[in-house]
Amino acid sequence: METLSENRAFGGVQGVYSHASAETGTEMTFSAYVPPHDEGAKLPVLWYLSGLTCTHANVTDKGDYRSACAEHGVIFIAPDTSPRGENVPDDEAYDFGQGAGFYVDATKDPWAKTYRMRSYIESELPALIAEHFPAADMTRQGITGHSMGGHGALTVALRNPDRFKSVSAFAPIVSPLHCPWGEKALGGYLGPDRDTWREYDACALIDGGAKLANLLVDQGTADDFLKDQLKTGLLALACKKAGIPAQIRMQEGYDHSYYFISTFMADHVKWHAERMLGG
Amino acid sequence: METLSENRAFGGVQGVYSHASAETGTEMTFSAYVPPHDEGAKLPVLWYLSGLTCTHANVTDKGDYRSACAEHGVIFIAPDTSPRGENVPDDEAYDFGQGAGFYVDATKDPWAKTYRMRSYIESELPALIAEHFPAADMTRQGITGHSMGGHGALTVALRNPDRFKSVSAFAPIVSPLHCPWGEKALGGYLGPDRDTWREYDACALIDGGAKLANLLVDQGTADDFLKDQLKTGLLALACKKAGIPAQIRMQEGYDHSYYFISTFMADHVKWHAERMLGG
């Protein structure tokens, strides 16, 4: 693991790191904020998965999470959204290829070799964090994310119910099976058999019996993507049917930007901290 | 005035606006955050002047000020750091020309016609704010800034003692007369007569009898520019000699970045709010 930068912030350290990923076969970059803590203390770990076109940098710059993480003693990890580099297959669209990995393990060429973001997020990066951040308590993890990253957070958590004590999302894509972004991405990475998409669809996973102990979602009512892409109502319905206690908050007048995310970030960090520390 | 963007944030509106400036002869861009407030309420106005290479966007993205401004009911205005455009004289260095206006009215060609940031900040932009933001209470203003913008905040306030109820700075250039950045900029914009520089030098203004009712400065000890460019000690000395009550806090381990600024931003907003609202 290579340190690209470390800066003191809110009494802790905001770092940006890179490492050679075995899953993607590329150099991967992520950011990690470690709040101030006593020597030897173990701190819960909150994952934040980013949306389309983003890298680790968007939330690191604009997410306003450090104040709340310092207050509650939470480590905050922000991975990239896809493999990157000249030798990595790409597409000129913003919603497919680099910057749009959709947190899947691709099975179709030319994507299958490098687009392994599911395994990267579920296995490789957690192991790296556990190894290099002695303060990280991997028995107390939470996960959140925005848009495509909200989809990532929900599906990673639904497939790994024992790993996360808390799950939340900002304006998540709740059902890739039922929106243009999802159909394009899953069709491209996994091929036309829609049954193979279901493990990457939060609503389908819930319908199939996957459980979450709790869920917090914030969604802006002025979000241009709400109606055609995000479809928050489908998640509310799936949770209701399955008896999953979900707090889905429609936030009046908020859009899809980091102005929205940062507004509710401290709330989410606190919500996760209560569940990660209480469990 | 043209609205470039408006986004709901922390219950208020983060806007970015542009207007044709009579002072600079160019289109100028600035950001303004107006927190949630009751209809007809009048709110204090905090100015933030940015540092070298920055536009309004750096603090708007990375400043973490909206939470505190919403809590305390403060309008936050972030102007650009120079005129810009193809027809505006420039220099390839990062510390002179576009992005480096130093908040002076230039007297030397080719800069004199467009580099009028002193008059822009002291007169033109406040009048525009008063006209277009009915919630802005121009009788209650404070000013802060970072690095070159800290220099700007201090010198604008020292020359206009009746306008500001509170003044603070993050890692300010305290004496352009005594550092390479300042000598280059003031020499270039004003010419070699160093006497003409004194109205753009916080320490010289204080030595000449200018007063501040109060002053808060945060400065990181790990700031690479502290020793040769910022020289915080000169300001402490000038304030002490002049009997100006200055709180100058050396912050252990912090550098010159927005990680530093954002860490202490809420503190500054609160400090200004107390003074703007109390007066």
Selected residue with higher pLDDT from B279 and B49: B49
Q: What is the ipTM of this complex?
A: 0.95
- For the cut 90, the answer to whether the pLDDT of residue B103 exceeds it is yes
The answer to whether the CB atoms of A260 and B7 lie below 8 A apart is yes
Which of helix, strand or coil describes residue B28? strand
Tokens of A77: 């990890």
Mean pLDDT of all residues in chain A? 97
What Å distances lie between residue B57 and A61, A188, B62, CA to CA? 12, 36, 8
Q: What's the pLDDT tens digit per position in A260-279? A: 999 999 999 999 999 998 85
A262 contact B CB<8A: yes
Tokens of B66: 């909206």
Share of chain B above pLDDT 70, in %: 100
The answer to whether the CB atoms of A64 and B66 lie below 8 A apart is yes
- For the cut 60, the answer to whether the pLDDT of residue B94 exceeds it is yes
Q: What's the pLDDT tens digit per position in B176-209? A: 999 999 999 999 999 999 999 999 999 999 999 9
CA distance A80 to chain B (A): 19
Q: What's the pLDDT tens digit per position in B27-39? A: 999 999 999 999 9
Q: How far apart are CA A255 and CA A222, in angstroms?
A: 5
- For the cut 80, the answer to whether the pLDDT of residue B78 exceeds it is yes
Chain A residues inside the 8 Å CB shell of B263: 8-11, 66
| Catalytic residue of the set A50, A146, A223, A272 | A223
The answer to whether the CB atoms of B262 and A9 lie below 8 A apart is yes
Domain count, chain A: 1
The answer to whether the CB atoms of B257 and A7 lie below 8 A apart is yes
Tokens of B29: 């861009």
Q: What's the pLDDT tens digit per position in B124-172? A: 999 999 999 999 999 999 999 999 999 999 999 999 999 999 999 999 9
B8 contact A CB<8A: yes
- Whole-number pLDDT of residue B221: 98
- For the cut 60, the answer to whether the pLDDT of residue A225 exceeds it is yes
B214 contact A CB<8A: no
Using CB atoms, pick whichever of A255, A258, A266 lies closest to residue B8.
A255
A222 contact B CB<8A: yes
The answer to whether the CB atoms of B220 and A259 lie below 8 A apart is no
- Whole-number pLDDT of residue B279: 52
Share of chain B above pLDDT 90, in %: 99
A221 contact B CB<8A: no
Strand order in the sheet with A136-145: A2-9, A12-20, A27-34, A75-79, A43-49, A136-145, A164-170, A215-220, A246-251
A84 contact B CB<8A: no
- Whole-number pLDDT of residue A278: 80
B5 contact A CB<8A: no
Nearest CA in chain A to B61: A62
B94 contact A CB<8A: no
CB atoms within 10 A of CB B270: 14
Tokens of B252: 């252990």
Q: How far apart are CA A36 and CA B75, in angstroms?
A: 31
Confidence of residue B278 (pLDDT cuts 50, 70, 90): confident
The answer to whether the CB atoms of B8 and A259 lie below 8 A apart is yes
DSSP structural state of residue B142: E
- For the cut 80, the answer to whether the pLDDT of residue A254 exceeds it is yes
CA distance A183 to chain B (A): 29
Chain B residues inside the 8 Å CB shell of A257: 7
- For the cut 60, the answer to whether the pLDDT of residue B16 exceeds it is yes
Chain B residues inside the 8 Å CB shell of A8: 220, 222, 253-255, 259-260, 263
**Range list of H helices, B171-222:** 180-190, 202-207
Predicted TM-score of the model (pTM): 0.96
Which of helix, strand or coil describes residue B185? helix
Chain B residues inside the 8 Å CB shell of A54: none
Q: How far apart are CA A81 and CA A99, in angstroms?
A: 5
How many beta-carbon pairs below 8 A join chains A and B?
60
- What are phi and psi for residue A222, nearest 5 degrees? -100, 20
User: Structural domain of residue B201, as residue ranges?
Assistant: 2-277
The answer to whether the CB atoms of A263 and B62 lie below 8 A apart is no
Q: What's the pLDDT tens digit per position in A60-88? A: 999 999 999 999 999 999 999 999 999 99
Share of chain A above pLDDT 70, in %: 100
Q: What's the pLDDT tens digit per position in A114-147? A: 999 999 999 999 999 999 999 999 999 999 999 9
- Of A211, A270, A278, which Cα lies nearest the Cα of A246? A211
Best of B256, B259, B270 to disrupt the A interface by mutation (most A CBs within 10 Å)?
B259
The answer to whether the CB atoms of B61 and A62 lie below 8 A apart is yes
Q: What's the pLDDT tens digit per position in A158-209? A: 999 999 999 999 999 999 999 999 999 999 999 999 999 999 999 999 999 9
- Of A120, A114, A64, which Cα lies nearest the Cα of A270? A64
Known catalytic membership, residue A201: no
Q: Is the peptide bond between A192 and the residue preceding it cis, with omega within 30 degrees of 0? A: no
Chain B residues inside the 8 Å CB shell of A7: 255, 257, 259-260
Nearest CA in chain B to A66: B263
Query: Which CATH number does the domain housing residue A183 bear?
Result: 3.40.50.1820
